Structure 1
Amino acid sequence: METETRAHRKKWRTIRLLTFTSILAIGALGALIFSFFIYIKILGPPPLSIPQSTLYYANDGSVIGESNSGEKRYWVTLDEISPSVIDAAIAIEDRTFYNHYGFDVKRIFGAIAANITSMKKVQGASTITQQYARNLFLTMDKTWKRKISEAIYTIRLEGNYSKDEILEGYLNTINFGHGAYGIEAASQFYFGKNAKDLTVAEGAMLIGIPKGPGIYSPLINYELAKKRQLLILKSMLEMNMITKETAIEATEEKLVITGKHPHHRADSAPYFYDVVKKELLTTVGLDERVLAHGGLKVFTTLDQRQQDIAEEVMNETISKDSDIQVGFAAMDPKTGFVTALIGGRDYDESPFNRATQAIRQPGSTIKPLLYYAALEHGFTPSTLIRSEPTTFKLDGASVYTPHNFNNQYANGEVTMAQALAVSDNVYAVKTHLFLGERVLVDTANKFGIESKMTAVPSLALGTSGVKVVELLNAYSMLANGGKKVEPIFIQKVVDYRGKVIYEVEQQEEQVLKPELAFIMSQMMTGMFDPKLNGYATVTGASIANQMSRVYAGKSGSTKSDSWMGGFTPGLAAVVWTGYDQGNEITLTADKVLAKNMWIRFMERSIEGQPEKIHTFRPPAGVTAVPIDPSNGKLATNLCPVFRIMYFEKGTEPEEACTDHLLTGPN
């Protein structure tokens, strides 16, 4: 009896011990699980940053460039993916995706059983979430450490992101082979279309590739890719995602594989492309990594049609055998948007940008800025100054003697309008010294020229260097009526989620007097008008016969530089040609390359556009009167030639021309 009692007591002690141990174990396990979830909570949502291609767009939406790390990936949202692709992914990879919490326990045990039976791995059990975690954060090694990390990332993904967000991320990160990562890059590469436009057959073919891109790519083994596609279509049919008829149609659909990535380096505008990348770093404030791999969409100001025209006219104007270089830029004067840019003859030979980096002497193209300053100080297009060989005595014992082209002088008084049209240097220097040498320096700064200007007499003839884009900016301010602009290359930057992270702000600030800006523009039309011929020929005579409309312009030259700039109210362009090392331009044909390239670009670019965009319209504060160009007085019926000139109201000439009373009109 006592023995039974002892046995009974021992039994209950054992039961109590086991119960207590079990409770402790359960408590410890609970504490461990609780601690694990606290740890997961502290870790928070895992970052979803992955390398994505940054795309650069022209103003018409076409892609002009791309940057990536060798993995082409273009993030798209679920609603930008064909539903058949989504169904195919779920059908073949994770049928219970929307019902589990990251792990499919039933599949895990089924896979274990199948693998044990066959004594090798024949079946996997990874869910879409697990695969996404692996794609984002992990290597493909088989260690327990990697498997535990994968489980942690999977839980973090499921605990912080919705199922649709996880599915979207998965479809945008899987490897489709041939450098295509994500469904959009794959769709573009294999079928040359957007992911949202994929058919059932195409979607099933693509979703079959990630299981083994080197095996199931239709470009590598079409037969195996087709078998995989059929398996996926069967799975979709079993899940009632498609009908039997649709499955049969998809099976029989003939697929056309393109096998070509759509986006490459900006071959048509590499110099422009370089400027945009620099602006993204400096103006927008991005870093190199985000720029290269951030999946940005950069909407630039480039007009692809104008860029093509610019390159076309450069190639046809300048001989392939010539060493002459080119700097060219075009701009919308109203917005400052740079629409075309050439930094040199061949980017591969020299990426140095002669439109934005080279500082060259502008020659007489600086004169419109000088004469604008003169208008501000009381000059008018009819202001007379004597043009004759002149030596200026400067401070101390130094002297300065400017020369006109071919030593042609009026040896008499000429108007400012004619002096500009024939590019009289003596008139320019006299005006410059009369105003004071600092006036032109300050005026150039007002026009947006930041290159250093030296306040010397020769500054009136363009001896201080400027950049092509600076002169373009200055001329654009005359074209738009005196509003401040600056060269703009980027309109907007959007991140991979579609959020606008930068957008240019258009600000209207009146810098120049609109009446004087218009008057200056009209004076610049004179370089093409033979009515202003006299002791010299107008400088635009050689290209005037190519003009179909009114342009304002100014040419300029030094021994080693040739310039041509001009505009309508809707388009401005500047061309520089010369040698990189400053060699003298000796051939007469080379001295007119800038003019010929400019007029050809302007004519072809404007062709077909509404006339009103490119028509000069006077502001209310100016008046138009007929002027005898030889003396600047009001023209009469006896004057052989007259030209309509514009003046600020109240400053127009009142004295009529009497020079032809005896001779009469010719």
Structure 2
Amino acid sequence: MEVVVNRRIRRTRRLVRLFFRLFLIFLVLATAAAVGLLSYTKMQGPPPLNVPQTTVYYGADHTPIGEHHKGENRHWVSLSQIDQNVIDATIAIEDRRFYHHWGFDINRIGGAVIANLRARSAAQGASTLTQQYARNLYLSHDKTWKRKWNELLYSLRLEMNYDKDQILEGYLNTVYYGHGAYGVEAASQHYFGKSAKNLTLAEASMLSGIPKGPSYYSPLFDLERAKRRQAVVLQSMVTHGVLNQVEADEAHLEPLNFVQNELDRPSTVGPYFQDVVERQLIEEIGIDPSLIEAGGLKVYTTLDPKMQKEAEYWVEREMPDSELETALVALDPRTGDVKALVGGRNYVESPLNRAVQTRRSPGSAFKPYLYYAALENGYTAASTLLSEPTPFNIDDGREPWTPRNFNDNYAEDFITLLQAMAFSDNIYAVKTHLLLGTERAVELAKRVGIESPLHNHPSLALGSAEVNVLEMARGYSAFANGGMRVNPRFIEKVVDVEGEVVYESEPTLTQVLDPKLAFILTDIMTGMFDPYLNAHTSVTGRSIAHLINRPVAGKSGSTTWDSWMVGYTPQLVTSVWVGFNDQIELDHSTDGQRAKNIWANFTEHALKGQPVLPFEKPDGVVDVKMNPHNGLLATEHCPTHRVTYFVEGTEPTKECPPPQADGEEVEAIDEETHEKERFLERFFKWFSH
């Protein structure tokens, strides 16, 4: 009997030794595997932490005007910019041992296995915050062994190369909170309209419960269910020791105010403007498109949100319910900063930017370029030419070209340049264009910033060449700012995700015109709003003059298919076009006034509250009381007068003569001007033969 017992003891000892040896071998192999795995993950180096973020566009007042993201609305913030309640709640509900494990938690894994075996399902997971962060960065959410293995590898790489706070910060900036909001900052803004650093305990606990099921636990979908989840989060915080029960109960009872109850509300401030900004970022500044896609950029623009909203409002109010389209550009002539831009009536229906991507004939709105060239070549506001139907033999073998005035209104007499601009007299314009030489107006237009191709045909005087709306605003800026060409500026600076300025611009202005002549032309261009100049016809701005309560200058224009109004104050130039996308004739009796109305109402309301500035007269300019009908000095014999400006030494010196015996006022014209007109008539007659 004793022998049998001894044998059993010896057998037991052998089995114990065998199991011990096997355990040692297993321990060595496990240790070797662990060392090998850790060595492998260490050799792999730190995994990249680049995640798609939201690029934010800011207006001139540094308020957000728009965002760029590919379905992931994300704003990265540092851990110090996140309320401590969010951090405590997230750790308490998601991973209480976060600061004590190496990326995976054996205790949680064991507990999850036992719970799943009891429930006969795989409902309970055991992922740590590190594993969830790895999944958010690099992996799908498929429940496969391969994904779990890769998740473990990435978790180890994260833990071995980044500290816990970096991992926690990354998790909080990548986790999905529903409704397109990735990261706690985007979620905080979406649900509560505030930054993550300003959340209350109640708000923080509500947000922290959402990632477990963003659709299921969203308070915007089911508030009662979300409140039950909030209670679980708060109780976890109590268990974790970061709250007491009283604080938890009070937070759960606190009412919450949700500022957004719809999905992915996009910004609509200046969408056409934002398209131009994005194109310039890539094509002109040279920012790699992938960097814009990666996001995190802060793009500070020149857009004035108040002016943009005024522009959109007046476009919507003045445009009819038809296919008629419009475009508007407003810029500051002192800097070139584009303050408002409308590229069409509805961006969603048609993103074609008619302000910069299409060209249309400006009609008489082109005449200021011609008349500045005339001032450079000896003309003054008093220069006169004959306004009457005139055929021009331009091309051999063709019928004479006979331009017409609007509604066939002609003075049938000599008129001054001041009147010609105010009435938009086409005969005066064509004669001036031919007298100067057709290349003069082309050169001047290019000098002030018109880049579209311009031809030397006589019809250019009437705006037959095609330009875009932005170019016209740029060109008129040189008249408004004392003769300086501006470069339209859309972007002030670009800041990357690290806070580094990667691009910055300053206004660019170049003196290209004589300040004295620019001021004189501006004074002439105020005439379209001056009813005192009415004569054989009315000034072209009579219908909108009452809408403006500050000094303005401008010029309207129209063709068969287009209607324009371009005008300015010292601090704002605005160009407006109205027409159809295709070559469809405008009904000028109904639609010809819309560009003027949009321009006048926008100018008046966009500048509301800003100083009423006069156009500043430069040295070397004198003013005289001139009879606008004949260009002579006003006297008691012809008291009709308007204060008109001239370069010193070019002002009229002859006075109006006494009236004739029958009492009619004599319209005596300067002999030198008459001689020019007689020469021009002889030139036309010679050319026609």
Common topology (TM > 0.5): yes
Q: Which residues in structure 2 correspond to 1:182-201 (within 5 Å)? A: 182-201=183-202
Query: Could you tell me how far apart the structure 2 residues matched to 1:415 and 1:587 are?
Result: 27
1:208-267 C-alpha deviation (Å, 9 max, x unpaired)? 222233443344555554343233323333444334543232132123445535753454
Instruction: Give, as a single letter, the amino acid of the residue that structure 2 aligns with 1:361.
Output: S
Query: Could you tell me how far apart the structure 1 residues matched to 2:306 and 2:203 are?
Result: 34
Query: Could you tell me how far apart the structure 2 residues matched to 1:266 and 1:222 are?
Result: 26
Q: Which residues in structure 2 correspond to 1:151-550 (within 5 Å)? A: 151-220=152-221, 222-257=223-258, 260=261, 264-267=265-268, 269-286=270-287, 290-292=291-293, 294-320=295-321, 322-394=322-394, 396-397=396-397, 399-550=400-551
Q: Which residues in structure 2 correspond to 1:635-654 (within 5 Å)? A: 635-654=634-653
SS at match of 1:210: coil
Distance 1:332 1:49, change over 3 A: same
Query: Could you tell me how far apart the structure 1 residues matched to 2:116 and 2:476 are?
Result: 76
Aligned to 1:7: none
SS at match of 1:512: coil
For the aligned residues, what is the CA RMSD? 3.4
Instruction: Give, as a single letter, the amino acid of the residue that structure 1 aligns with 2:615.
Output: F
Query: Could you tell me how far apart the structure 1 residues matched to 2:36 and 2:121 are?
Result: 36
Distance 1:416 1:564, change over 3 A: same
Query: Could you tell me how far apart the structure 2 residues matched to 1:119 and 1:352 are?
Result: 58
Query: Could you tell me how far apart the structure 1 residues matched to 2:437 and 2:69 are?
Result: 54
1:328-378 C-alpha deviation (Å, 9 max, x unpaired)? 222222232322333333444433333222321111110101111222223
Query: Could you tell me how far apart the structure 2 residues matched to 1:650 and 1:40 are?
Result: 86
Distance 1:347 1:252, change over 3 A: closer
Q: C-alpha displacement at 1:550, in angstroms?
A: 1.9
SS at match of 1:79: helix
SS at match of 2:602: helix
SS at match of 1:625: strand
Q: C-alpha displacement at 1:40, in angstroms?
A: 4.4
SS at match of 2:645: strand
Q: C-alpha displacement at 1:207, in angstroms?
A: 1.0
Contact preservation (8 Å) 2:72, 2:182: yes
SS at match of 2:591: helix
Instruction: Give, as a single letter, the amino acid of the residue that structure 2 aligns with 1:571.
Output: L
Query: Could you tell me how far apart the structure 2 residues matched to 1:28 and 1:258 are?
Result: 54
Instruction: Give, as a single letter, the amino acid of the residue that structure 2 aligns with 1:356.
Output: V
SS at match of 1:491: strand
1:617-664 C-alpha deviation (Å, 9 max, x unpaired)? 122342323222122233334432221222233333334443659869
Aligned to 1:571: 572
Distance 1:332 1:660, change over 3 A: farther
Query: Could you tell me how far apart the structure 2 residues matched to 1:275 and 1:410 are?
Result: 45
SS at match of 1:216: coil
Distance 1:191 1:531, change over 3 A: closer
Q: C-alpha displacement at 1:292, in angstroms?
A: 4.7
Query: Could you tell me how far apart the structure 2 residues matched to 1:184 and 1:48 are?
Result: 18
Query: Could you tell me how far apart the structure 2 residues matched to 1:574 and 1:477 are?
Result: 14
Query: Could you tell me how far apart the structure 1 residues matched to 2:333 and 2:134 are?
Result: 51
SS at match of 1:542: coil
Aligned to 2:554: 553
Contact preservation (8 Å) 1:341, 1:355: yes
Q: Which residues in structure 2 correspond to 1:620-659 (within 5 Å)? A: 620-658=619-657
Query: Could you tell me how far apart the structure 2 residues matched to 1:626 and 1:223 are?
Result: 80
Distance 1:154 1:661, change over 3 A: farther
Instruction: Give, as a single letter, the amino acid of the residue that structure 1 aligns with 2:357.
Output: Q
Instruction: Give, as a single letter, the amino acid of the residue that structure 2 aligns with 1:636.
Output: T
Q: C-alpha displacement at 1:563, in angstroms?
A: 1.3
Instruction: Give, as a single letter, the amino acid of the residue that structure 1 aligns with 2:390.
Output: T
Query: Could you tell me how far apart the structure 2 residues matched to 1:71 and 1:171 are?
Result: 14
Aligned to 1:11: none
Query: Could you tell me how far apart the structure 1 residues matched to 2:651 and 2:157 are?
Result: 79
Query: Could you tell me how far apart the structure 2 residues matched to 1:249 and 1:656 are?
Result: 90
Aligned to 2:593: 592
SS at match of 1:328: strand
Q: C-alpha displacement at 1:464, in angstroms?
A: 0.6
Query: Could you tell me how far apart the structure 2 residues matched to 1:621 and 1:77 are?
Result: 60
Which deviates more from structure 2 when the two are superposed, residues 429-438 or residues 521-530? 429-438
Which deviates more from structure 2 when the two are superposed, residues 327-336 or residues 384-393? 384-393
Distance 1:191 1:358, change over 3 A: same
Distance 1:223 1:325, change over 3 A: closer
Instruction: Give, as a single letter, the amino acid of the residue that structure 2 aligns with 1:282.
Output: E
SS at match of 1:553: strand
Distance 1:387 1:171, change over 3 A: same
Query: Could you tell me how far apart the structure 2 residues matched to 1:508 and 1:586 are?
Result: 39
Distance 1:83 1:651, change over 3 A: farther
Instruction: Give, as a single letter, the amino acid of the residue that structure 2 aligns with 1:373.
Output: A
Query: Could you tell me how far apart the structure 1 residues matched to 2:219 and 2:530 are?
Result: 66
Q: C-alpha displacement at 1:554, in angstroms?
A: 0.5
SS at match of 1:274: helix
Query: Could you tell me how far apart the structure 2 residues matched to 1:387 and 1:86 are?
Result: 81
Q: C-alpha displacement at 1:569, in angstroms?
A: 0.9
Aligned to 2:678: none
Q: C-alpha displacement at 1:86, in angstroms?
A: 1.2
Query: Could you tell me how far apart the structure 2 residues matched to 1:50 and 1:649 are?
Result: 66
Aligned to 1:4: none
Query: Normalising by structure 2, what TM-score?
Result: 0.84
Distance 1:127 1:480, change over 3 A: same
Instruction: Give, as a single letter, the amino acid of the residue that structure 2 aligns with 1:536.
Output: T
SS at match of 1:366: helix
SS at match of 2:385: strand
Q: C-alpha displacement at 1:562, in angstroms?
A: 1.6
Distance 1:163 1:636, change over 3 A: farther
SS at match of 2:181: coil
Can you give the 5+ residue segments of structure 1 that lack an aligned partner in the other structure?
1-14
Distance 1:220 1:411, change over 3 A: closer
Distance 1:162 1:648, change over 3 A: farther
Q: C-alpha displacement at 1:498, in angstroms?
A: 3.9
Distance 1:162 1:617, change over 3 A: farther
Q: C-alpha displacement at 1:416, in angstroms?
A: 1.7
Query: Could you tell me how far apart the structure 1 residues matched to 2:94 and 2:59 are?
Result: 39
SS at match of 2:646: strand
Distance 1:520 1:165, change over 3 A: farther
Instruction: Give, as a single letter, the amino acid of the residue that structure 1 aligns with 2:560.
Output: K
Instruction: Give, as a single letter, the amino acid of the residue that structure 2 aligns with 1:652.
Output: E
SS at match of 1:385: strand
Query: Could you tell me how far apart the structure 2 residues matched to 1:476 and 1:457 are?
Result: 25
Q: C-alpha displacement at 1:407, in angstroms?
A: 3.3
Distance 1:45 1:448, change over 3 A: farther
Instruction: Give, as a single letter, the amino acid of the residue that structure 2 aligns with 1:533.
Output: N
Query: Could you tell me how far apart the structure 2 residues matched to 1:498 and 1:281 are?
Result: 20
1:560-619 C-alpha deviation (Å, 9 max, x unpaired)? 2221110101122122222333233345232222222221222222222222xx421122
Instruction: Give, as a single letter, the amino acid of the residue that structure 2 aligns with 1:640.
Output: P
Q: Which residues in structure 2 correspond to 1:22-171 (within 5 Å)? A: 33=35, 37=39, 40=41, 43-104=44-105, 107=108, 124-171=125-172
Contact preservation (8 Å) 1:637, 1:665: no
Distance 1:141 1:650, change over 3 A: same
Query: Could you tell me how far apart the structure 2 residues matched to 1:461 and 1:259 are?
Result: 53
SS at match of 2:630: coil
Q: C-alpha displacement at 1:386, in angstroms?
A: 3.2
Query: Could you tell me how far apart the structure 1 residues matched to 2:30 and 2:544 are?
Result: 92
Distance 1:158 1:618, change over 3 A: farther
